[in-house]
Every structure is written in structure tokens, then in C-alpha cells.
């Protein structure tokens, strides 16, 4: 009986080291965490979940280049034309790049 528990424990420990514990450990994880923590889904929908005030992330992906997305995220004046997207220049370059890569993956 003890041997069975030992085998189960080894299998579980192996699975925990091989498989990511959550989406935060995958390539998309940091960007998804930022999208939630920065309140992006108050206005933008992601995969059908979130606000409808602004374009969904899927629409942004279809309509804007990586450079345009980066420019929209870093906006020291606080506004882009008629929109009210806040300035995200407080994020690190790595965080901004994670968002850009998530919203518009490199082809």
C-alpha cells in the first residue's frame, strides 16, 4: 500500500514540474494578467468577456499594426483623439511588449 502512495506522489510531483500551474506561466499569462490588473476589460472584450465601450481585442488585432498598438498604449497626454484610453507608460518595456505580443502576435 505504501508503494502505491509513493508512485502516486512521484507522478504528481513530475506533473507539477512539467505542466504549467496556470496560464500565467505560459507565454500569454503575463499579458492576460496585465489586461485584468490594468482594467482593460472594463472597455474591451477579450474572447467574449468584458466591456463593449471600445473595440474588442479581436477587433484591435484585425485593425491595428503592432506599432499602432504600441503607440496607443503609451500616451503621455492621457488621451488619443476622441478616445479615452489611459496612458500605460508606467508599465515596464517587458510588460508593454507582452501586451503588444498578445494583442498582435508577430507573424
Q: What is the pLDDT of residues 31-65, one digit of tens each?
A: 999 999 999 999 999 999 999 999 999 999 999 99
**pLDDT above 60: residue 25:** no
State mean pLDDT over 75-104.
82
Distances from the Cα of 34 to the Cα of 9, 17, 50, 55, angstroms: 34, 25, 14, 18
Domain of 73?
Answer: 28-103
Q: What angle do CA 70, 47, 100 make, to 5 degrees?
A: 15
Q: Is 44 among the domain residues?
A: yes
Q: Is 66 among the domain residues?
A: yes
CATH classification at residue 50: 1.10.760.10
Full-model pTM: 0.68
**pLDDT above 90: residue 8:** no
Amino acid at each position: 500500500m505504501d508503494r502505491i502512495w509513493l508512485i502516486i506522489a512521484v507522478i504528481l510531483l513530475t506533473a507539477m514540474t512539467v505542466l504549467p500551474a496556470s496560464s500565467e506561466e505560459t507565454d500569454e499569462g503575463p499579458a492576460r494578467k496585465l489586461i485584468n490588473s490594468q482594467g482593460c476589460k472594463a472597455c474591451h472584450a477579450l474572447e467574449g468577456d468584458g466591456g463593449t465601450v471600445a473595440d474588442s481585442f479581436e477587433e484591435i488585432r484585425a485593425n491595428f499594426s503592432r506599432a499602432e498598438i504600441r503607440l496607443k498604449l503609451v500616451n503621455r497626454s492621457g488621451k488619443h483623439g476622441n478616445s479615452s484610453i489611459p496612458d500605460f507608460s508606467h508599465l515596464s518595456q517587458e510588460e508593454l511588449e507582452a501586451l503588444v505580443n498578445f494583442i498582435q502576435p508577430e507573424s
